Amino acid sequence: MYKTNFLLLILIFISSVANAATNYVSDDLHTFIHSGPGTKYKIIGSVNTGEHIKVIRKESNFILVKDSKGRSGWINSKYVSSKPGLKERLPKLEAELSKLKKQLDEDKGNLNSKASQVTNLENTNSKLTKQLEEVQALNTELNEKLDTKRTDLLIKWFTYGGMVAGAGLLLGLIIPLLIPNRRKSRW
């Protein structure tokens, strides 16, 4: 019986912990001002979170302060901070956040613009590369044709030269035979 009740209590505890909703402490907190440096002294008022105070002096864990209403009293030093409260900092942070979001959106727009420019440049580069390859292939083909023409021209000139030399040799041999010699000397 004891074990059953114990298990039942554990199950109820676990289910209540599992079903607990997430909550937050409100920023509208306050701390008490005491008439002396300790919690055993009379509470003379309270100071809200983020309220401006002037520190007069410190004694152990308590600080003598003067609040915005002109009251002087002691506050626990763990509740005093040199940073402004969230009520003061939040609007500035929100303004800065919106400014940064706008800048980020502008930068994203610029980035998209730059990306499209890069894509256009890559497309242009690939077209120019293809054209360069075509021109190089045409250049190679034309150089081969030029070399062939040179070879053909050289062969043609050698052929003409050979024909001229052959004709000259034949004429040199035939002409003396056709023209009679006036002198017939036999040696």
> Which token pair is 122?
């890559």
Provide the pLDDT for residue 19. Answer: 47
If you average pLDDT over residues 18-38, what whole number do you get? 64
pTM, whole model, 2 decimals?
Answer: 0.40
**In one letter, which amino acid is 137?**
A
Q: Could you state, in order of their start, the residue ranges of all structural domains in the chain?
A: 30-82, 83-150
The DSSP element (H or E) to which 58 belongs, if any, is strand 53-59
- Sheet order of strands, 43-48 included: 43-48, 30-34, 72-76, 62-67, 53-59
pLDDT tops 80 at residue 32: yes
Cβ–Cβ under 8 Å, residues 27 and 86: yes
Beta bridge partners of 74: 34, 64
Cβ–Cβ under 8 Å, residues 79 and 46: no
pLDDT in tens, 153-166: 999 999 999 999 99
Superfamily for 30-82?
A: SH3 Domains (2.30.30.40)
Q: How far apart are CA 176 and CA 183, in angstroms?
A: 13
Alpha helix (H) residue ranges in the chain:
2-18, 86-178
pLDDT in tens, 71-91: 889 988 888 887 777 777 788
